[in-house]
Chains A and B, each alone.
Chain A
Amino acid sequence: PESVPPHSLCCFSSCSSWLPQRVLLRGSHWQSSLLGFRTSLPVRAQPKKKKKVDVKKEQAQKERMKKKLKKLEKAAPELIPIEDFITPLKYTESNRVRSLPALSPEESERRVLLLKKWCLFKQKQDEAEKKAIKALVESQQEALRELQLESEELYQAAILRDEGLFPFEREGPSYTPPLPGYDPPEGKCIDITKVYTQ
């Protein structure tokens, strides 16, 4: 039965494809199904009676999760223990004691003199470093003073911090330069670090 929709102002095309037409033409939002007015698909399933229980269950579940979350968040985060500072047990279990041989007086004399020489060497090294730092700082200050006398703008620009300085990366020096034409064997690295979880 061709029921007339409420607003049939613009039914300009033929009724060959009436289904999509009807969907487009439905002006009222009360007509939710594709079929005509007051018709619906045969429904044999049980009507949804369990709505309340579902909502309650969901709420209860959410609250449980929130409580769990609160409890976990309460616990402070822990730092990963560093294996360097934990002595392995095998070094504390055994009772063996090392017995050192007795030193002759010449040997102990030699050692003491060597120690003194080393102290002096280190002192000289340290003083040289301090002197170098002082010289660097002084020359830098003098250069900045001269720059300030020259032009104020350049001085201000020089004082500003350098954004390109960090991050700064440098590999340590090596004992020997890399061998030319060295063919390393193929292999791979597996990371076996212990993963700690809280």
Chain B
Amino acid sequence: DALLASHRSYRSRPTHGIGRFKYLLPKEVPKRRKEKVQMKEISAGTEYQYGDINIQMTSHDLCLVEHFAQYVHRLCNRLSIRVNESYAMPTKTNEVLFLEERGSKMQLDAVLTTHQRVVQIRGLSSTFAPILLEVIQSSQPEGVHLLMKQHTEADFKSRLKSRPELEELLAEMS
């Protein structure tokens, strides 16, 4: 009898809950599992509203492009335009070689890095779009190339790592 009832606590007894201590410890935040990188739904927009639009800013100067991206993000916040995401695209490095005047050898001139920042907005109304374009253009700094286009799946895929093995297998299967 006593062997079977070893874990039972007698609620009427004053010793009820005598072994409890977990309620005294600080609350443990459950460990967040790594979130899978999934593509969010791309909205097409209605007749009076644009869907997902990417504002891509490219430049060789890192600080300039970062600050411009921050400015655009804050501007959209202030004008209550919904900003889906604001991320950075991977940097591209280019080696610039030029041909010497007297000689056939290519000489290394410089190593240039191209940085790109993207601000994704949704629900831009058709009447407000030209105004926003005007404002962004007027504050565009030197050397920063601005590109605004609709968001597509291909744009999202370009951010992901390439998987050559998977592609090989898929090609073999089909």
Residues of A within 8 A of B (CB): 65-66, 68-69, 72-73, 76-85, 129, 132-133, 136-137, 140, 144, 159-162, 165-175, 185-198
Contact = CB atoms under 8 A, between A and B. Distances in A.
Interface string B71-109: 000000001000000001111111111110100001001
Contacts of A66: 173
Interface stretch (B6-14, B20-28, B43-51): B43-51
Contact of A195 (B48, B99, B162): B162
Contact of B169 (A68, A85, A192): A68
Given A65-B173, A133-B135, A193-B92, A172 B48 contact: no
Contacts of B95: 189-192
B122 interface: no
4 tightest A-B CB contacts, nearest first: A187-B98, A167-B149, A161-B126, A76-B36
| Interface residues of chain B: helix, strand, loop or mixed (majority) | mixed
A76 B45 CA distance: 29
A167 B92 contact: no
Interface residues of B, number: 63
Given A161-B47, A166-B50, A174-B142, A72 B62 contact: no
A196 B99 contact: no
B143 to A, nearest CB: 5
Interface of B: 36-38, 45, 47-50, 53, 59, 62, 79, 88-99, 101, 106, 109, 111, 115, 126-131, 133-135, 137, 139-150, 159-166, 169-170, 172-173
B72 to A, nearest CB: 13
Contact of B166 (A72, A80, A169): A72
Contacts of B149: 166-168
A175 B61 CA distance: 15
Contact of B146 (A68, A165, A169): A169
Nearest to A76: B36
B32 to A, nearest CB: 15
Nearest to B46: A161
A101 to B, nearest CB: 25
B140 A173 contact: yes
Contact of A129 (B109, B135, B165): B135
Nearest to A185: B98
B160 A79 contact: yes
19 contacts: A68-B169, A69-B173, A77-B160, A77-B163, A79-B159, A79-B160, A80-B161, A133-B131, A159-B48, A159-B127, A160-B48, A165-B133, A169-B146, A170-B140, A185-B99, A187-B97, A188-B97, A189-B95, A191-B94
